[in-house]
Amino acid sequence: MDVVTLNTFLETEFPQWSTSTGASVTDVTPEGVICRLPFNESQLRPGGTVSGPTMMGLADTAMYAAVLSRIGPVALAVTTNLNINFMRKPEPRATTATCRLLKLGKRLAIGDVAIVSEGDTDMVAHATVTYSIPLQG
């Protein structure tokens, strides 16, 4: 799946996510995908930073998009494990999530996601995500 079909699929299957947050896939790369989350005051938490759950959702979606970009529109792929470290306070602007597939098996996909404030190089958060892929019939 390319950028356009991925975004169309995510908007259809997860209207809550993309419509309410404005998140989208911006690139399909040789290693995975890149997603972008616009800055939105409703995601803020005390201290003025993008909230943890917002970044967890972004990491999860980036990995989902990376899996779909390789295997096609399998809506029922599900997260089985997500581990995230929060490292720095994000800036009050858009965030970018770069997902790299570390393993893409028939039943299991593992990837990591680097989250930065747009234009920065220092990571705000780093996640490792495992998806279970249902048997296709």
Contact residues toward a copy of itself (CB under 8 A) are: 13-14, 16-17, 42-47, 51-53, 56-57, 60-61, 75-76, 78-88, 102-103, 108, 110, 112, 122-123, 126, 128, 130
Measured CA angle at 44 (ends 42, 46), to 5 deg: 135
CB of 121 to a copy of itself, least distance (A): 11
Closest CA relative to residue 62, chosen from 105, 20, 13, 27:
27
Q: Which is nearer to a copy of itself, 94 or 129 (CB)?
A: 129
CB of 84 to a copy of itself, least distance (A): 5
CB of 65 to a copy of itself, least distance (A): 14
Query: Which bin fits 16, alpha (ψ -120 to 50), beta or left (φ > 0)?
Result: alpha
Question: If 0-12 CB within 10 Å is exposed, 13-18 middle and 19+ buried, where does residue 119 land?
Answer: exposed
Q: Which is nearer to a copy of itself, 103 or 119 (CB)?
A: 103
Closest CA relative to residue 37, chosen from 53, 104, 102:
53
CB of 32 to a copy of itself, least distance (A): 14
